[in-house]
Chain A
Amino acid sequence: EIVLTQSPGTLSLSPGERATLSCRASQIVSSDYLAWYQQKPGQLPRLLIYDASTRATGIPDRFSGTGSGTDFSLTISRLEPEDFAVYYCQRYGSSFPFGPGTKVDI
């Protein structure tokens, strides 16, 4: 069973700064079926990126995803106040495991 790990656990940054989050898989993610979500307290997860690098509908272009195989990254080019949240990666296919999350806080 594939296991996803994320680093760092917490990223402390200021508005306007660049955030780079990492997601590593225990085995190759076939077809780069890797998604990123944002979740704020009391809210449902919001899909940001799928296929490792494709932005979901309505997602601002300051969010970008890269990577393939076992190593993936989510970059937020310039943090806006509303971007401070927890971010999860997820592999999709026959199962849908999540990584443990990275908290981006001020």
Chain B
Amino acid sequence: EVQLEQSGAEVKKPGESLRISCKGSGYNFSNFWISWVRQMSGKGLEWMGRIDPSDSYTKFSPSFQGHVTISVDKSISTSYLQWSSLNASDTAMYYCARFYYDSRTYYSDWGQGTLVTVSS
């Protein structure tokens, strides 16, 4: 069974750094891109970017380019979403997801989400 297990909720202050994680299991982690999706409270889904675990190539939505870093440690089947300096507008639920298309079928697997709260 495919699982994406995310790290727990975080409460941070503005200006602090943060890294949250997403561990994949039940499949060959290196073979499938991991995406990160933001959902602010009461708002829509926003695709932030994705990483190819095989070579760590990343592609970002223009809205998030330069604001976050996506990385991966394929030795432990884990992807990370990282901020160097948080601000209050980063408060949101963050999901990792595996979106892929194979043999004329599209698959969409989601982590359970990590709630990030940034408040002074």
Contact: A50 with B110, CB < 8 Å? no
CA distance A56 to B113 in the complex (A): 22
How many inter-chain contacts with C-beta < 8 Å in the A-B complex? 52
How many of chain A's residues have a CB under 8 angstroms from any CB in B? 24
Contacts of B112 in A (CB 8 A): 44
Q: Mark A46-82, 1 if CB is under 8 A from B, else 0.
A: 0100110010100000000000000000000000000
The B interface is mostly helix, strand or loop, or mixed, namely: strand
Q: For residue B91, give the distance in angstroms from its CB to the closest CB of chain A.
A: 17
User: Which of chain B's residues has its CB closest to A41's CB?
Assistant: B42
CA distance A88 to B39 in the complex (A): 12
Contact: A97 with B59, CB < 8 Å? no
User: Which of chain A's residues has its CB closest to B60's CB?
Assistant: A95
Q: B108 near A: Cβ within 8 Å?
A: yes
How many of chain B's residues have a CB under 8 angstroms from any CB in A? 20
Contact: B101 with A33, CB < 8 Å? yes
Q: Mark B96-117, 1 if CB is under 8 A from A, else 0.
A: 0001010011101010110000
Contact: A1 with B108, CB < 8 Å? no
Contact: B108 with A51, CB < 8 Å? no
Contact: A39 with B105, CB < 8 Å? no
Contact: A44 with B110, CB < 8 Å? yes
Contact: A50 with B46, CB < 8 Å? no
Q: For residue B63, give the distance in angstroms from its CB to the closest CB of chain A.
A: 9
* Interface contacts beyond A98-B47, A101-B45: sample of 18 additional A-B pairs, CB < 8 Å, sorted by A: A1-B62, A33-B101, A39-B45, A44-B95, A50-B106, A51-B106, A56-B106, A88-B44, A90-B45, A92-B101, A92-B106, A95-B50, A95-B59, A95-B61, A96-B47, A97-B61, A98-B45, A101-B44
7 contacts across the A-B interface (CB closer than 8 A): A35-B106, A39-B45, A45-B108, A47-B108, A95-B59, A96-B47, A100-B44
